[in-house]
């Protein structure tokens, strides 16, 4: 009798497992849309730009001319040559600043130079 009960329990368990194999238990949880939260828009704060640095330039001595700052190519990158009062290499020399010169197929950078 004990064997019959164990067999019946085993057959019943297998039958329940087979019946539940095709059935699925589903749980649905519906959550609504979140509650809208209204916050005031941030007010932009604009700060004025910092003032430009003031560079004190001594007055020129007789025979000196002002050469503005410019960039020169060093072979590895550009280097800034600061502005200064300089003495011309010869009498009557005029400083011609660096600039782009238009050519047939584009523009060419010409560095600053002294000319008569």
What value, to the nearest 5°, has the Cα angle with vertex 27 and ends 23 and 32?
150
Is 55 contained in some domain? no
Query: Whole-model pTM above 0.75?
Result: no
Question: Backbone phi, then psi, for 10, in 5-degree steps?
Answer: -65, -45
Q: Give the whole-angstrom CA distance, residue 64 versus residue 91.
A: 11
Is 100 contained in some domain? yes
* 3-state SS, residue 107: strand
Per-residue pLDDT band for 9 (boundaries 50, 70, 90) equals confident
Q: What is the pLDDT of residue 20?
A: 58
Q: Give the whole-angstrom CA distance, residue 94 versus residue 92.
A: 6
Provide the domain limits for residue 81: 65-115
Detail the DSSP E strand segments found in 33-81: 65-67, 70-73, 78-81
Is 107 contained in some domain? yes
| Tally of domains within the chain | 1
Q: What is the pLDDT of residue 43?
A: 74
């Amino acid at each position: 009798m004990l064997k019959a009960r164990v067999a019946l329990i085993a057959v019943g368990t297998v039958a329940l497992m087979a019946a539940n194999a095709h059935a699925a238990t589903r749980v649905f949880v519906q959550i609504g849309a979140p509650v809208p939260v209204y916050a005031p828009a941030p007010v932009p704060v604009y700060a004025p730009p910092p003032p430009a640095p003031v560079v004190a330039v001594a007055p020129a001595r007789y025979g000196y001319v002002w050469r503005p700052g410019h960039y020169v190519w060093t072979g590895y990158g550009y280097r800034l040559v600061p502005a200064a009062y300089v003495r011309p290499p010869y009498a009557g020399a005029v400083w011609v600043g660096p600039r782009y010169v238009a050519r047939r197929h584009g523009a060419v950078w010409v560095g600053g130079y002294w000319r008569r």
